[in-house]
Amino acid sequence: MVSTRIDWHEYFMNIADQVATRSTCDRKHVGAVIVRDRTILSTGYNGSVRGGVHCDDAGHDMENGHCVRTVHAEANAVAQAAKNGVRIDVSEIYVTASPCLTCFKLLANSGVRVVYYKEFYRDERISQYARESGIELVFMGKQTSVIPGADDVPEREPTPRAI
């Protein structure tokens, strides 16, 4: 009998896709799920500062072509874990778009060891920082390009040992 059950990587990325539906900036909906030992530790989506106005309601606050009203999904996932006293050291993150350099550094310093992403988003420098810090970047998307300079191959299967 052939199983139609999805693997853990697809499961967690599907949850990240669902988390992204809560985003409050229509320029980009991004979701993030932090996991350790097949257990969800925290989630985050790009949205305004807690209690602040949302882009969807007040418009965008643009700076150098970027909306700066929102906190990125990865940063919100780390903040939610911290707020709730959840240790994320030696964890993995599933994110619908690759992190910007600032979020990548936050993840690295928080102990995230593997970043699974579906879509490359803007910052090519994360591949160099990942190599230097020993963090694995794993492309899970369908597109044909990955972060330039990254060691990942577009058709690469996620590393089974990671979970």
- Active site amino acids: 74
Question: For the stretch 108-126, what's the b/e string if a residue is b when 16 or more beta carbons lie within 10 angstroms of its beta carbon?
Answer: bebebbbbbbbbbbebeeb
Q: What is the DSSP letter of 30?
A: -
Name residues whose C-beta falls within 8 Å of residue 63's C-beta, 6 or more positions apart in sequence: none
Query: Contact, 138 vs 8, CB < 8 A?
Result: no
The CA-based diameter of the chain, rounded to the nearest angstrom, is 55
For residues 47 and 62, what is the distance between their CA atoms, to the nearest angstrom?
Answer: 14
Q: Which two tokens stand for residue 19?
A: 């988390």
Q: Strand (E) positions, 24-87?
A: 31-36, 39-45, 47-48, 62-63, 66-67, 70-71
Query: What is the three-class DSSP state of 160?
Result: helix
